[in-house]
Amino acid sequence: MRNFSTEAKVGAFFVVVFGLIAWISTKLGDYGFEEARAMTLSATFNTAAGVSEGTKVNLAGIKIGVVKDIELDGPRARIIFTIRSSVKIPEDSQVSIQTFGFLGQRYLEIMPGSSNRTMDDGEHFYNVEDAQDISQLTANLGHISEDIKAVTGNLRAVMGTPDAQQSMQEIFEAFNAITTSLASTLEANERNMDQIMGNLNKFTT
């Protein structure tokens, strides 16, 4: 097998290095071009809790951008984010803060509107939906659970007394008697109807 000279090896090494540099430059150029084509939008919420720089912006469950900055807008939070300029957003679209997964990871979700006019770079969303407060939701669920426990406890206490058990037994017996009587009445009426129809048949023939 022929051995390559030192000069050939050095030349091959530089070819590989320059090739890698060219590839990296192309990728960085594409990245910069994508950044240049990005469109900046904003929306104001009562709270930006759980949202930070880099939080995803989704449309139909697909990532189209990221949060770039969060700043105070009076007592509220103004979230500034960028999306791909190739994505057209109707001006009456809604943006909301959503929660994903058990750990409550936050993201922005854009719900497209029906307007023919689309948003331009630097525009602001006025149709927003604030995130559900997880702590408040947990507290509400806790109150509901306590109410259910109280109701079931009361039922258990009432139904556990001898008088209540006797009353339930009487109710079941009365219901059984009613259904038995109703079945007997229907059966008797059916026999009467058969007899009447038979008499009518004889009369007409």
Does one domain contain both 189 and 145?
yes
Phi then psi dihedrals of residue 57, to 5 deg: -115, 120
pLDDT given at position 159? 64
Q: Half-sphere exposure of 120 toward its Cβ, with a 13 Å CA cutoff?
A: 1
Domain boundary among the residues 116, 132, 148 is at 132
Pairing type for strands 76-84 and 94-100 reads unpaired
- Residue 31's alpha-carbon distances to 23, 27, 35, 73, in angstroms, are 12, 6, 6, 31
Phi, psi of 119 (to 5 degrees): -75, 145
What is the pTM for the complete model shown? 0.51
Domain carrying residue 174:
138-204
Residue after which a domain boundary falls, among 110, 132, 154: 132
- Do 112 and 98 share a structural domain? yes
Residues 59, 43 within the same domain: yes
* 2 band by pLDDT with thresholds 50, 70 and 90: low
Among 101, 132, 163, the domain boundary falls at: 132
Q: What is the mean pLDDT of residues 27-45?
A: 69
Residue 109 forms beta bridges with which residues? 58, 96
Average model confidence (pLDDT) across the chain: 79
Domain count, the chain: 2
Strand 94-100 to 56-59 pairing: unpaired
The answer as to whether 165 is a domain residue is yes
State mean pLDDT over 3-29.
60
Let me know: does 72 contact 118? Beta carbons within 8 Å: no
The answer to whether residues 144 and 79 belong to one domain is no
Q: Is residue 151 part of a domain?
A: yes
Check whether 33 has a pLDDT greater than 60. Answer: no
Task: Tell me what the mean pLDDT of segment 190-195 comes to.
Answer: 72
Q: Are residues 46 and 118 in the same domain?
A: yes
Same domain, 164 and 182: yes
Confidence of residue 111 (pLDDT cuts 50, 70, 90): very high
Confidence of residue 170 (pLDDT cuts 50, 70, 90): confident
